[in-house]
Amino acid sequence: MRVVIGEDLALLRDGLTRLLEAYDFTVVAAVDNGPELLPALVAHRPDVAVVDVRLPPTFTDEGLQAAIAARAAIPGLPVLVLSQHVEPLYARELLSDRKGGIGYLLKDRVSHVAQFVDAVRRVAAGGTALDPEVVSQLLARHEPPLAALTTREREVLGQMAEGRSNGAIAGKLFIGEKAVSKHISSIFTKLGLPPSDDDHRRVLAVLAYLNV
């Protein structure tokens, strides 16, 4: 599986490269600035891109902008954002694109190598991997659409937005899968969304509806 990394910190960039290659990924490019990231993504068309938000020269949002531009050039290009920051504006644009896998993880909350590698693979396969803190910040900005949901439905919605399947949600919340299905059906009804069995699509549908 081919990967392009966009990370300005040399130690982290080298560490990510070594880590991913230890798990049978092939890092085809590892760049340290925004201007080089977009050409690398377009030229290599990787199976997944691991990108920091803030890259040189301005350290603002070059990584996210490059990822969005690359997905415009290569529809469905899987992108996993790995950052210290939540950038709501560009995160909204990235997450509202329903083609291809999307992930957004916070660096200081990635505590297990296996979970990170699983997230990379999940995004490469077209799935979703969102940090709970990212989900919390995005959903907290849209209280009115969520006002009709019960506490449990909010919990289920949060798990959905993290990319979890019905079975995973049931295990996390210690309830049965049938209960999860009923909650999800109720959530879709209250939010005016069509039901979907596609985990990735239903996550993005909810996020797009909330205009995160």
**Whole-number Å distance between alpha carbons of 159 and 138:** 13
The answer to whether the pTM exceeds 0.85 is: no
Over the chain, what is the mean pLDDT? 86
pLDDT in the model for residue 155: 87
* Rounded (10°) CA dihedral 159, 135, 162, 183: 30
Per-residue pLDDT at 136 exceeds 90: no
pLDDT in the model for residue 131: 84
Which CATH number, 3.40.190.10, 3.40.50.300, 1.10.10.10, 2.30.30.40, labels domain 142-209? 1.10.10.10
Which CATH number, 1.10.10.10, 3.40.50.2300, 3.50.30.40, 3.40.1280.10, labels domain 2-131? 3.40.50.2300
Which residue has 């309830």 as its token pair? Answer: 175
- Tens of pLDDT, residue by residue over 57-69, are 988 889 988 999 9
